[in-house]
Amino acid sequence: MQLQSKLPHVGLTIFTQMSQLADVHGALNLSQGFPDFDAPEALKEALQRHVQAGHNQYGAMAGVPALREQVASKIARLYRNPVCAEQEITITPGATQALFCAIQTLVRAGDEVIVFDPSYDSYEPAVTLAGGRCVHIALNSVDFSVDWQKFADALTERTRLVIINSPHNPSGAVLQRADLQQLADLIRARDIYLLSDEVYEHLVFDGQSHCSVLAHEELYQRACVVSSFGKTYHVTGWKTGYMVAPPKLTAELRKVHQYVSFCAVTPMQHALADFMQAQPEHVDQLPAFYQRKRDQLCRTLENSRFTYVATASTYFQLLDYRAIRDDLNDVDMAHWLTTEHGVASIPLSVFYQQPPADQYLLRVCFAKREDTLTLAGEKLCVI
């Protein structure tokens, strides 16, 4: 028998590769995006409480109602959109699964899906599995903004879905209200849906605020907005996320979700609901919390040969290494940095279909304890 891969070009993700390399060489792992500090005590206690209380069986398909209510009230408070917990919010096992369900729901064989490079690695395989084709548009290579003319030029009769990601992994660029308006104007007369990956919605710095599609009345009518409790509550391993969409679209999204996983993990949903109710201010404190970490990393790197522009959002910082090794491409540089200098990072080119020729960028994650960031600074400053 011949096994024919449906994803012949997909191998081990770069995140797994770099984490493994970091393990083998005992390097500081600033590659994969997860905190090296623990979740809030109250959240862990809530999980224990719910496990002990017997919340260990399948929950409601769309998610535990108390958690959906908490998400709805957060969305009403922050984005002034009175979404209905019952008909518009679905809890999923991680944002990745929400993205997958949305793509399977919306993309049909032969459809085109516009993605902006550098783009998160889970989008394209999901589009391929749905029988669609990604059309890649490169973001501006200096500030990672969208060229809306390029976007307009890429639209065809086959365009079915646009995937946007703001705050943006890996660059930290954020879409402004004017960007959303341009997008709305360009797709208004077309049969095109929008998938908005907003997993870093609460990690926006320097006093800026996040422009959510949830706050854009017109775009929301054709959108599925995805977020992740993992990023917001320092529990990436809990793999719990959610998708928000108008009722008709939600009904279709749930048809897919119920056969991909049926429901998210029950006790974690209860724990998150308790924590959100008890500490709604947690999300308001996150920008300052992560901005301190960004500033610590950037301050220590002032004495290095890396150059950088402090990131506007997310927990990733891009570092330009051309003053150190412009003879190495970014994949080789990331390997060299891990094996010779003990710091693992992610090369930016892996997020592109066609990486720009003169780009020398690595992504490092600063969701780390103070001592980890100090150590990282020491290692990066002697190169």
Nearer to ligand PLP, 18 or 324 (CB): 18
Instruction: Report the C-alpha gap between 60 and 257 in whole angstroms.
Output: 12
User: Is residue 199 a contact residue for ligand PLP (CB under 6 A)?
Assistant: yes
Q: Is 94 in the site for ligand PLP (CB under 6 A)?
A: yes
Q: Would you count residue 118 as binding ligand PLP (CB under 6 A)?
A: no
- Residue in the structure block whose two tokens are 């605020």: 209
Site string for ligand PLP, 49-88 (x = CB under 6 A): ----------------------------------------
What does the alpha-carbon distance between residue 383 and residue 372 come to, in Å, rounded to a whole number?
17
Q: Which is nearer to ligand PLP, 33 or 287 (CB)?
A: 33
Contacts of ligand PLP in 169-198 (CB under 6 A): 169, 197
- 36 exposure class (CB count in 10 Å sphere: 0-12, 13-18, 19+): middle
Q: Is 63 left (phi over 0), alpha (psi -120 to 50) or beta?
A: left
Biggest alpha carbon–alpha carbon distance for the chain: 59
* DSSP conformation class of 112: E
Closest approach, Cβ 109 to ligand PLP, in A, equals 25
The 268-307 site mask, x for binding ligand PLP (CB under 6 A), equals ----------------------------------------
Secondary structure, 3-state, 172-237: CCCCCHHHHHHHHHHHCCCCCEEEEECCCCCCECCCCCCCCHHHCHHHHCCEEEEEEHHHHCCCHH
Q: Which is nearer to ligand PLP, 239 or 293 (CB)?
A: 239
166 half-sphere exposure, CB direction, 13 A CA radius: 22
Determine contact, residues 344/22, Cβ cutoff 8 Å. Answer: yes
Looking from the CA of 14 toward its CB, the CA atoms found within 13 Å total 22
Residue selected from 67, 95, 219, 244 as contacting ligand PLP according to rule CB under 6 A: 95
Shorter beta-carbon distance to ligand PLP: residue 241 or 377: 241
- Residue 317 binds ligand PLP, judged by CB under 6 A: no
Interaction with ligand PLP in 21-50: which residues (CB under 6 A)? Answer: 33
Of 324 and 344, which has the nearer Cβ to ligand PLP? Answer: 344
According to CB under 6 A, which residues from 221 to 240 bind ligand PLP?
228, 230, 236, 239
Q: Which residues bind ligand PLP (CB under 6 A)?
A: 33, 94-96, 120, 165, 169, 197, 199, 228, 230, 236, 239, 241
